[in-house]
């Protein structure tokens, strides 16, 4: 074997094992690498055999649907209308059966050595109640992954992105961990592009849903430099004859995900409860980008006495506040120290209302009389100075 042939063989071996071009291969058919971990996800209507699934050494975990939207109403007997009362009872029965199935599947999966997780399908409605509903439904253990499922950026059909942030924060408050974010490519791109407006959602570990063999041109690299899970197979691209990956014990309606790590690494990293690092946008404004203020702001003025006067310093200044609705100036004479203190207290107390206060004007020098009108450039807006004058 020549040196060139041996070099090619080494390269090919590294390529197949994912060791040489790791950064590139994670976005291009990583399921072809037999060292990469497989994760399945499903819901109550999927039919699968967990004992057969566990025989696939690449399958490391199963994520099951937990709660869906707002909690079910269990006060059905309080409903007067008979048809609505029966509908309420049916919804509650379905809820109870699905939760029992969830608990049974969880116990079996964990007994077979699989890692477990659950997701909440976000719907319009109170995000705090939905977060509590998810925790009450799934009773997540410390080693179980939690996820919020935002199917699309459509607040009329699914939980809004702003509410998803509240949901994630409440999950963190109650469990000490953040959930993973499951969403599609378009929504993920929107979140990445608006990461300053969505500082929590854009930093949740990303469970990315896209059914293509190459996502490198489309991956939303905002704060996300990588996915934690990539859902690459569902009914969208899996038929009876051809499927990117079909584990034993499943049919083509099961969703299949890949992780950019081995089974051992995945089990060690599970359940992804933190935030990814924040990466500022390239066009983030800086203080140097702020346009200059066009009108000079005068806080107070006291013109020094000209030589040869020495030692005689007038320590007072005349301040005026415009009184609404008359627009007249009300004068008060203060020492410079008292005015400075008043201004400082005003700023510290009402800084947030800087642009919602009365105009404040001072004379150009302490020697001017109160009856003289203040010059226009001396007029300023300052936070609620009136209570201190």
Q: What is the DSSP string of 220-238?
A: --SS-SS-SEEEEESTTT-
Residue 377 reports pLDDT greater than 60: no
Question: How do residues 295-334 score in pLDDT, each as one tens digit?
Answer: 444 444 444 444 554 443 444 444 444 444 555 545 555 5
Hey, CA dihedral for 154, 193, 70, 92, is it positive or negative? positive
% residues pLDDT > 90 (the chain): 61
Query: How high is the pLDDT of residue 75?
Result: 87
* Weakest mean pLDDT among 84-88, 147-151, 279-283: 279-283
Q: What distance in Å separates the CA atoms of residue 59 and residue 61, rounded to the nearest whole number?
A: 6
Residue 171 neighbours by CB under 8 Å, 6+ apart: 131, 134, 135, 146, 148, 177, 178, 179
Query: How high is the pLDDT of residue 296?
Result: 44
Query: How high is the pLDDT of residue 345?
Result: 59
Banded pLDDT at 283 (limits 50, 70, 90): confident
User: What's the whole-model pTM score?
Assistant: 0.69
Beta carbons of 42 and 61 less than 8 angstroms apart: no
Phi-psi label, residue 191: left if phi above 0, alpha if psi -120 to 50, beta otherwise: alpha
Closest of 163, 156, 153 to residue 130, by C-alpha: 163
Closest of 350, 346, 357 to residue 381, by C-alpha: 357
Residue 379 reports pLDDT greater than 90: no
Q: How many CA atoms lie within 13 A of 111 on its CB side?
A: 8
Beta carbons of 125 and 134 less than 8 angstroms apart: no
- Residue pointed to by tokens 């995000």: 127
Banded pLDDT at 216 (limits 50, 70, 90): very high
Q: Give 151-194 as a DSSP string.
A: -SS-TTTS--HHHHHHHHHHHHHHHSSPPEEEEEHHHHHHHHHT
% residues pLDDT > 70 (the chain): 67
Mean pLDDT for the stretch of residues 356-371: 39
Closest of 301, 295, 289, 283 to residue 343, by C-alpha: 301
Query: How high is the pLDDT of residue 311?
Result: 41
* Weakest mean pLDDT among 56-70, 78-92, 326-340, 372-386: 372-386
Structure tokens at 261: 């790590």
Structure tokens at 293: 């203020």
Mean pLDDT for the stretch of residues 69-84: 90
Query: How high is the pLDDT of residue 131?
Result: 97
């Amino acid at each position: 074997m020549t040196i060139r042939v041996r070099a090619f063989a080494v390269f090919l071996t590294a390529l197949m094992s994912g060791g040489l071009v790791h950064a590139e291969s994670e976005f291009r058919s990583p399921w072809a690498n037999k060292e990469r971990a497989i994760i399945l996800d499903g819901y109550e209507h999927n039919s699968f055999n967990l004992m057969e699934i566990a025989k696939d050494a690449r399958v490391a975990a199963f994520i099951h649907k937990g709660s869906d939207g707002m909690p079910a109403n269990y006060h059905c007997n309080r409903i007067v209308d008979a048809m609505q009362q029966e509908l309420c009872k049916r919804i509650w029965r379905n809820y109870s059966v699905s939760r029992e199935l969830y608990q049974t599947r969880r116990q079996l999966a964990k007994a077979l050595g699989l890692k477990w997780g659950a997701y909440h399908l976000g719907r319009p409605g109170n995000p705090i109640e939905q977060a509590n509903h998810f925790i009450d439904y799934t009773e997540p253990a410390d080693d179980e992954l939690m996820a919020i499922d935002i199917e699309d950026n459509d607040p009329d059909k699914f939980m809004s992105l702003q509410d998803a942030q509240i949901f994630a924060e409440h999950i963190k408050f109650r469990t000490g961990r953040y959930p993973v974010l499951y969403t599609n490519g378009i929504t993920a791109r929107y979140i990445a592009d608006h990461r300053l407006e969505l500082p929590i959602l854009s930093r949740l570990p990303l469970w990315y849903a896209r059914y293509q063999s190459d996502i490198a041109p489309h991956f939303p690299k905002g704060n996300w430099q990588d996915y934690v899970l990539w859902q690459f197979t569902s009914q969208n691209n899996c038929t009876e004859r051809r499927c990117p990956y079909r584990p034993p014990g499943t049919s083509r309606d099961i969703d299949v995900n890949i992780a950019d790590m081995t089974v051992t690494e995945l089990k060690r990293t599970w359940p992804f409860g933190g935030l990814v690092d924040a990466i500022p946008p390239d066009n983030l404004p800086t203080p140097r980008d702020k346009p200059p203020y066009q009108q000079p702001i005068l806080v107070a003025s006291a013109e020094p006495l000209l030589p040869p006067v020495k030692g005689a310093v007038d320590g007072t200044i005349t301040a005026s506040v415009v009184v609404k609705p008359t627009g007249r100036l009300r004068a008060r004479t203060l020492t410079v120290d008292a005015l400075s203190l008043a201004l400082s207290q005003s700023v510290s107390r009402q800084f947030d209302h800087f642009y919602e206060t009365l105009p404040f004007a001072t004379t150009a020098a302490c020697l001017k009389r109160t009856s003289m009108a203040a010059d226009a450039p001396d007029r300023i807006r300052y936070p609620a100075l009136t209570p201190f004058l």
